[in-house]
Amino acid sequence: MNARVESIPAAKVAVAVRGLNVVYSTNAGEIPAVNNVDIDILAGKITGIIGESGSGKSTLMMGVMNAINKPGRITSGSVLVDGVGDMLKLDKERQRKARGKDMGFVFQAAQNSLNPLRRIGNQVLDLGRSHNVKDLRALIRRAKELLTRLGLDADRVLASYQHELSGGMRQRVGIMFALVLDARIVILDEATTALDMLSQASVLEIVRELHEERGLTTILITHDMGVVADLADRVAVMYGGEIVEQGSTEELLRKPKHPYTQGLIGAIPRITGDIDLAVPLKGSPPDVKTYMQPGCLFAGRCPLVMDKCRTERPTSRKLASGRDVSCFRVSDDD
Ligand SMILES: Nc1ncnc2c1ncn2[C@@H]1O[C@H](COP(=O)(O)OP(=O)(O)OP(=O)(O)O)[C@@H](O)[C@H]1O
């Protein structure tokens, strides 16, 4: 594996990802689900990773934890986690410890990945034991506090099996698992999508409070630009396995530069402020064939496409404003 970064850059970076590539082997060919991704996840901030379904958000974060399963594999890159090391080079045991203790996570599939045969409380104990937690009583106390905070009847939930909980309850339980070991870095993958709008807003508010109280570094994976607008300090926009634009949320929402980001934002009445002005993004995300073509993966859907876009693949450039954008059309003056 080719490690392009040897040390954490000077800014307060909790996770530095460089040149990360992840592919899935399928019958139709290899899908570059994460393609040459560079991102600095800043310590103490909430970073939103946004993009349509299939854009590679979950794969990127699974890659960060070096938890890609077959038929996927990491082909190159480095993931330097502050205080831990390169997740792609650590020995298996140190990686396992980092997942949970340094990086708490709840993945989209997590609400189904609870053990159906064990009560939630026992699963908290299992987690504690697997991370050599000495004071298991204190761990259960923390689990209860978190569950209560998340609006659940903690005693009842700890005594329940997964099938006794609704989808929304399981998502809250997932968030509890991500936080219960006091990890500093927390990855929440569509952690509130099974909740109705009101519950989603209140759970996200609690996530924000916990983030601030604990001084966490939080990564929120979502397809909902509204969630990013409400919570994230920084945002990375993914398309076809690449980060096409990243920067501070405030600036990116005020002046999106990549045509895909513009399309994503323009599709949301809550952000455009006028339902009549909201224009849905046309076309569909890249498929296996599109990946194989030269040129920009967004070219087929792009309102600003030029000839060059169909033959050359743009790479990410840092603009004077500090924004990273991967598009031939974008210049510093825009
Ligand atoms: N196990 C797998 N086998 C083959 N291809 C996969 C597998 N998991 C993901 N992919 C493909 O990798 C690409 C990225 O998927 P990923 O789930 O990371 O995207 P996502 O942005 O998180 O989407 P979603 O919001 O739907 O979860 C997609 O093209 C997807 O079809």
Q: What is the whole-number distance in angstroms between the Cα of residue 56 and the centre of ligand 1?
A: 6
Domain membership flag for residue 114: yes
Q: What is the whole-number distance in angstroms between the Cα of residue 241 and the centre of ligand 1?
A: 9
Specify the ligand 1 atom closest to the Cα of 285: 29
- Whether residue 51 has its Cβ less than 6 Å from ligand 1: yes
Among left, alpha and beta (phi > 0; psi -120 to 50; other), residue 190 is left
pLDDT recorded at residue 191: 81
Dist. CA 314–CA 245, nearest whole Å: 12
The sign of the dihedral angle between the CA atoms of 103, 126, 92, 57 is: negative
Q: What is the pTM of this model?
A: 0.90
What DSSP string runs through 24-76? EEETTEEEEEEEEEEEEEETTSEEEEE-STTSSHHHHHHHHTT-PPTTEEEEE
- Whether residue 266 has its Cβ less than 6 Å from ligand 1: no
- Whether residue 247 has its Cβ less than 6 Å from ligand 1: no
Best substitution site from 22, 23, 24 to test ligand 1's pocket, by max atoms within 8 Å of Cβ? 24
pLDDT recorded at residue 40: 95
- Whether residue 236 has its Cβ less than 6 Å from ligand 1: no
Domain membership flag for residue 154: yes
Q: What is the CA radius of gyration of the chain?
A: 20
- Whether residue 71 has its Cβ less than 6 Å from ligand 1: yes
The owner of tokens 């059309």 is 329
Domain membership flag for residue 129: yes
Q: Which residues of the chain have pLDDT under 50?
A: 1-3, 111
- Whether residue 216 has its Cβ less than 6 Å from ligand 1: no
Q: Tokens representing 27? A: 């019958």
Domain membership flag for residue 91: yes
Q: Please count the structural domains in the chain.
A: 1
Q: Which helix (H) or strand (E) holds 309?
A: helix 307-311
Domain containing 45: what range?
Answer: 13-325
- Whether residue 31 has its Cβ less than 6 Å from ligand 1: yes
Strand partners, 46: 218
Q: What is the whole-number distance in angstroms between the Cα of residue 227 and the centre of ligand 1?
A: 21
Q: What are 119-177's pLDDT values in tens digits?
A: 999 999 999 999 999 999 999 999 999 999 999 999 999 999 999 998 888 889 999 99
pLDDT recorded at residue 239: 95
pLDDT recorded at residue 190: 86
SS3 category, 68: coil
Domain membership flag for residue 330: no
- Whether residue 222 has its Cβ less than 6 Å from ligand 1: no
For residue 19, the domain's CATH number is: 3.40.50.300
Domain membership flag for residue 334: no
The ipTM, to two decimals, is 0.95
Tallying the residues shown for the chain, one arrives at 334
Domain membership flag for residue 7: no
Q: What is the whole-number distance in angstroms between the Cα of residue 193 and the centre of ligand 1?
A: 17
SS3 category, 75: strand
The sign of the dihedral angle between the CA atoms of 237, 72, 76, 218 is: positive
Specify the ligand 1 atom closest to the Cα of 34: 14
Domain membership flag for residue 184: yes
- Whether residue 132 has its Cβ less than 6 Å from ligand 1: no
Q: What is the whole-number distance in angstroms between the Cα of residue 161 and the centre of ligand 1?
A: 29
